[in-house]
């Protein structure tokens, strides 16, 4: 077992543990923190796949922004005081469905012919090529995404304004 495989198993363990923590935790703030753990492990997987740029982008976007947003939202509203109804009567059905989905996904992943599955080494994509292509070939989707972000921000600001007459 090579060092890369050992590292991969450790990171996958952290990722799965984080995922289970998100779903099974009683306290919603603990779920958010387990989500950070899980997403950080995804960044580790990107490093193993030699796309370090994506790993850093994952850390910046998820660790820095999305999780901060979730934490602010959870902490500044009264999320803690409501009881969490986690386990209802349909637990066996839910378990069966989840198990079925898991087998379907794993079968699908193991059965597909991936593009690089015949090679022993991965060819790393040079990071400056991503930049070149992003701003030349894919410039229009890039601009559209930035416009969508501006719309989302403006919408959020508008939604958080107090209504007329309300102080």
Interface residues with other proteins (CB under 8 A)? 3, 27, 29-30, 33, 36, 52-53, 56-57, 59-60, 63-65, 67-68, 71-72, 75-76, 126-128, 131
Residue 130 CB burial class (10 angstroms; 0-12, 13-18, ≥19): middle
Q: Which is nearer to other proteins, 60 or 122 (CB)?
A: 60
Q: Which is nearer to other proteins, 65 or 149 (CB)?
A: 65
Are 13 and 90 in contact by the 8 Å Cβ rule? The answer is no
Q: Which is nearer to other proteins, 27 or 84 (CB)?
A: 27
Closest distance of CB 20 from other proteins, Å: 15
Closest distance of CB 130 from other proteins, Å: 11
Q: Which is nearer to other proteins, 103 or 146 (CB)?
A: 146
Are 13 and 38 in contact by the 8 Å Cβ rule? The answer is no
Residue 66 in tokens: 């999305």
Q: Which is nearer to other proteins, 19 or 56 (CB)?
A: 56
Q: How far apart are CA 84 and CA 81, in angstroms?
A: 9
Q: How far apart are CA 17 and CA 33, in angstroms?
A: 12
Closest distance of CB 52 from other proteins, Å: 6
Closest distance of CB 51 from other proteins, Å: 11
Pinpoint the alpha helices (H) of 25-126: 28-48, 52-58, 67-76, 91-111
Closest distance of CB 80 from other proteins, Å: 8
The greatest distance separating any two alpha carbons of the chain, rounded to the nearest whole angstrom, comes to 68
């Amino acid at each position: 077992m090579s060092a890369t495989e050992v590292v991969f198993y450790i990171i996958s363990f952290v990722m799965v543990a984080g995922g289970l923590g998100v779903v099974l935790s009683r306290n919603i703030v603990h779920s958010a923190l387990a989500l950070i753990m899980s997403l950080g492990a995804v960044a580790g997987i990107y490093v193993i796949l030699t796309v370090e740029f994506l790993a850093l982008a994952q850390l910046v976007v998820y660790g820095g922004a999305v999780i901060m947003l979730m934490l602010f939202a959870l902490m500044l509203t009264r999320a803690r005081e409501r009881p969490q109804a986690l386990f209802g009567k349909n637990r066996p059905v839910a378990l069966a469905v989840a198990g079925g989905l898991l087998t379907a996904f794993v079968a699908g992943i193991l059965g597909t012919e991936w593009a690089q599955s015949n090679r022993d080494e991965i060819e790393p994509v040079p990071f400056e090529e991503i930049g070149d292509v992003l701003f030349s070939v894919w410039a229009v989707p890039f601009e559209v995404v930035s416009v969508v972000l501006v719309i989302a921000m403006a919408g959020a600001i508008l939604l958080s304004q107090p209504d007329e007459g309300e102080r």
